[in-house]
């Protein structure tokens, strides 16, 4: 990691245009990572710009938003492109073409399914979050401050559910402790990221629970685009549904499918035992052993039927 950091320091501090970007429908780990990286890059004299989709207002407390690019996209000529929290290049969505245009590319991530798609791949599959990986990189060449600490803490808390998931290691906890030393309001960050909900999030959650079903030890639910819209919600308001139904006693795997576009569905999987990364990979997706996702060409019902079939096959194998 230290050698990597030396290379990164050399490249970043000498390049003119560093573009930092992340996956579509960005979560707390994606948002925390891009802004922590942007603030760190600026600190060493680089000129970073951030390409990120609109995200939930619950993350508005994260600093560094002055680096978000709001110029004409046609004028953007990246020298260096850093993709963070993306298991594959196409997760960059609308920003993928800028990755292809860059002279030097970096892929910073923690998904075990990562396809090592960049020239420089810093993928730590045992890390709790991309923010944990970002911390390991930037601590070697940049002076961290309270704002960077807030961004990193947000990502770790998002992906570990407040240091709860077993992706949390001793190192994760130690990084948490280091970040707390900057005087961040860690309690309020956990509240904002994990517990506070907007009315539209509750409405869409209620709808998801209306559609909820159990099949043996699998819990599942789905939402159509119309249902999401009727609740006044958008796709960034759907976090937490798939985790919530996994917590039902006796359930081993949970599935949430929503309609993302015309004949396009998004599948989210969580598990207590089975390897859902493997199941997601059948559909061209991936993630982690206990948390994974995939896009599916087809409507919600077809996506749901296909994924339930695949899960049953996998669970049968385990018995
Ligand atoms: Mn992540």
Please tell me whether the overall predicted TM-score, pTM, comes out greater than 0.85 for this model: yes
Tell me how far the alpha carbon of residue 67 lies from the centroid of ligand 1, in angstroms. Answer: 21
Tell me how far the alpha carbon of residue 144 lies from the centroid of ligand 1, in angstroms. Answer: 21
Which residues of the chain register pLDDT less than 70?
1-4, 318-319
Tell me how far the alpha carbon of residue 2 lies from the centroid of ligand 1, in angstroms. Answer: 22
Does CATH number 3.10.310.30 belong to domain 199-318?
Answer: yes
Tell me how far the alpha carbon of residue 26 lies from the centroid of ligand 1, in angstroms. Answer: 9
Architecture of the structural domain at 2-195:
Alpha-Beta Complex (3.90)
Whether the Cβ atoms of residue 94 and residue 24 lie closer than 8 Å to each other = yes
Tell me how far the alpha carbon of residue 302 lies from the centroid of ligand 1, in angstroms. Answer: 27
Phi-psi region of 85 (alpha: psi -120 to 50; beta: other; left: phi over 0): left
Alpha carbon 78 to its chain centroid, in Å, reads 23
**pLDDT of 297:** 97
Q: Tell me the two tokens of residue 240.
A: 């937490």
Whether the Cβ atoms of residue 56 and residue 27 lie closer than 8 Å to each other = no
Tell me how far the alpha carbon of residue 296 lies from the centroid of ligand 1, in angstroms. Answer: 21
Tell me how far the alpha carbon of residue 103 lies from the centroid of ligand 1, in angstroms. Answer: 25
**40 Cβ contact list (under 8 Å, min separation 6):** 134, 138, 142, 144, 148
Phi-psi region of 45 (alpha: psi -120 to 50; beta: other; left: phi over 0): left
Tell me how far the alpha carbon of residue 319 lies from the centroid of ligand 1, in angstroms. Answer: 30
**pLDDT of 258:** 98
**Domain spans, the chain:** 2-195, 199-318
**pLDDT of 7:** 80
Burial class (CB in 10 A: 0-12, 13-18, 19+), 289: middle
**pLDDT of 3:** 62
Say if 2-195 and 199-318 have the same CATH topology.
Answer: no
- What's the pLDDT tens digit per position in 276-292? 999 999 999 999 899 99
- What's the pLDDT tens digit per position in 225-252? 999 999 999 988 898 899 999 999 999 9
Tell me how far the alpha carbon of residue 254 lies from the centroid of ligand 1, in angstroms. Answer: 19
Torsion of CA 268, 272, 273, 277, to 10 degrees: 20
């Amino acid at each position: 990691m230290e050698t990597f950091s030396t290379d990164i320091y050399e490249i970043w501090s000498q390049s003119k245009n560093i573009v930092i970007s992340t996956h579509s429908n960005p979560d707390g780990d994606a948002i925390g990572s891009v802004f922590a990286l942007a603030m760190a890059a600026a600190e060493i004299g680089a000129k970073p710009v951030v390409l990120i989709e609109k995200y939930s207002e619950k993350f508005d407390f994260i600093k560094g938003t002055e680096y978000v690019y709001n110029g004409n996209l046609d004028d953007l000529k990246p020298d260096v492109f850093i993709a963070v929290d993306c298991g594959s290049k196409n997760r960059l969505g609308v920003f993928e073409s800028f990755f292809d245009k860059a002279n030097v590319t970096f892929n910073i991530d923690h998904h075990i399914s990562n396809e090592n798609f960049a020239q420089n791949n810093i993928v730590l599959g045992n890390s709790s979050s991309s923010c944990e990986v970002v911390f390991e990189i930037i601590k070697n060449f940049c002076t961290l401050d309270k704002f960077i600490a807030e961004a990193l803490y947000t990502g770790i808390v998002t992906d570990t559910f407040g240091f709860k998931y077993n992706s949390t290691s001793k190192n994760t906890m130690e990084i948490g402790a280091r970040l707390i030393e900057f005087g961040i309001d860690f309690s309020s960050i956990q509240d904002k990221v994990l517990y506070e909900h907007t009315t539209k999030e509750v409405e869409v959650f209620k709808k998801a629970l209306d559609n909820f079903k159990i099949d043996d030890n699998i819990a599942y639910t789905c939402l159509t685009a119309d249902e999401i819209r009727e609740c006044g919600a958008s796709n960034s308001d759907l976090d937490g549904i798939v985790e919530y139904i996994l917590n039902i006693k006796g359930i081993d795997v949970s599935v949430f499918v929503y309609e993302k576009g015309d004949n396009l569905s998004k599948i989210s999987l969580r598990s207590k035992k089975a390897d859902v990364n493997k199941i997601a990979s059948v559909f061209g997706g991936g993630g982690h052993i206990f948390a994974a996702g995939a896009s599916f060409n087809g409507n919600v019902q077809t996506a749901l039927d296909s994924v339930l079939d695949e899960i049953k096959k996998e669970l049968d194998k385990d018995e």
